[in-house]
Amino acid sequence: MVIIMLGAQGTGKGTIAGIISEQTNFPQISTGDIFRKNISEKTELGVEAEQYIAKGELVPDEITVPMVVNRLNQEDAKNGAILDGFPRTTAQAEKLDEILTNLGKKVDLVINLSTPKEELIDRMLTRRVCSNQDCKTTYNIKLNPPKVEGICDKCGAELKQREDDSNAEAINRRLEIYEQQTSPLVEYYDKKGVLRTETVSTSINRMGKDVAEDIVKDIKNSSIKGDEI
**In this structure, what are the phi and psi dihedrals at residue 110, rounded to the nearest 5 degrees?**
-120, 120
pTM across the whole model: 0.76
Catalytic residue among 36, 71, 88, 174: 88
User: Is there a catalytic annotation at residue 128?
Assistant: no
**Which of 108, 150, 158 is closest to 131 using CA atoms?**
158
Catalytic residue among 95, 105, 123, 127: 127
The C-alpha angle with vertex 224 and arms to 219 and 229, in degrees rounded to 5, equals: 35
Neighbours of 42 (CB within 10 A): 9
User: Is there a catalytic annotation at residue 174?
Assistant: no
- Give CA separation, 171 vs 49, 125, 144, 184, in Å: 18, 8, 20, 20
pLDDT in tens, the chain (229 residues): 899 999 888 888 888 998 999 999 999 988 878 888 889 999 888 899 999 888 888 788 888 888 888 788 889 988 889 998 789 889 899 988 988 888 788 999 999 999 998 899 998 999 999 999 888 888 999 888 999 999 999 999 999 998 888 888 888 888 888 888 778 899 999 999 999 999 999 889 998 899 999 999 998 887 644 444 4
User: Is there a catalytic annotation at residue 123?
Assistant: no
Pairing between β-strand 28-30 and β-strand 2-6 as defined by DSSP bridges: unpaired
